[in-house]
Amino acid sequence: MIWSSEDLARDLVRRSSAGGLTLAQVTEAVSEAAVRERETLEELRSPSSRVQEPFGWDPEELAERWAARHAEWRRILALMQASGWGTYEPERDAEGTLWAQEREDRRAQFLARHAAHREQVSDGLRADVWLSARAGRLIRALAARTGLTPDQVVAQIAESAVLSDDGTVSVPPFTPR
């Protein structure tokens, strides 16, 4: 399941506000997010951002996430000022609560589809595989880029594997589906 940058920002802000935040704390969060947004945009524009590790942080995605957090903190600050709240409590935020419920509904639907899929393929082999950190990062990165789960990526790699007469195993190039 993939959430948008806005979904991630809203969820993070809501969780970090769970105990309630004062106007000063929200103002500080807006300032912090503005600085991080500006820094990530500057990094994105720099020539060094084009030279990155194959599966490292994507500077564009990071800039997008900080922009979304900044926007969410500004929304909360404006809500507090307009409502005259001295403390932000997520439960009182009708719009934020609606978005949180929508995210939870999407998550529940995803889990239901996932459970149905697992039941459908239950006659297959189920294995717990421990991968090295590097291999795990590669699988997670492939999963994120293709919209699949890491399990699905590993399963497709295994389905594409070829065993040669001399006992070597190889995986020809393929596009995950």
Q: What is the pLDDT of residues 114-171, one digit of tens each?
A: 888 777 776 667 778 888 898 889 999 999 999 999 988 998 998 899 999 999 999 9
pLDDT tops 70 at residue 56? no
Question: In the chain, what are the domain boundaries?
Answer: 5-120, 133-170
What pLDDT, on a 0 to 100 scale, did the predictor assign at position 23? 95
Q: Are 10 and 103 in contact (CB under 8 A)?
A: yes
Q: Is the pTM of this model over 0.85?
A: no
Q: What is the pLDDT of residues 134-149, one digit of tens each?
A: 888 999 999 999 999 9
What pLDDT, on a 0 to 100 scale, did the predictor assign at position 36? 94
Token pair 């940058």 is found at 5
**What integer best gives the mean pLDDT of the chain?**
87
Is 165 buried (19+), middle (13-18) or exposed (0-12) by CB count in 10 A?
exposed
Q: Which of 93, 177, 168 is nearest to 143 (CA)?
A: 177
Q: Which of 49, 71, 51, 68 is nearest to 60 (CA)?
A: 49
Q: pLDDT tier at 55 (50, 70, 90 boundaries)?
A: low
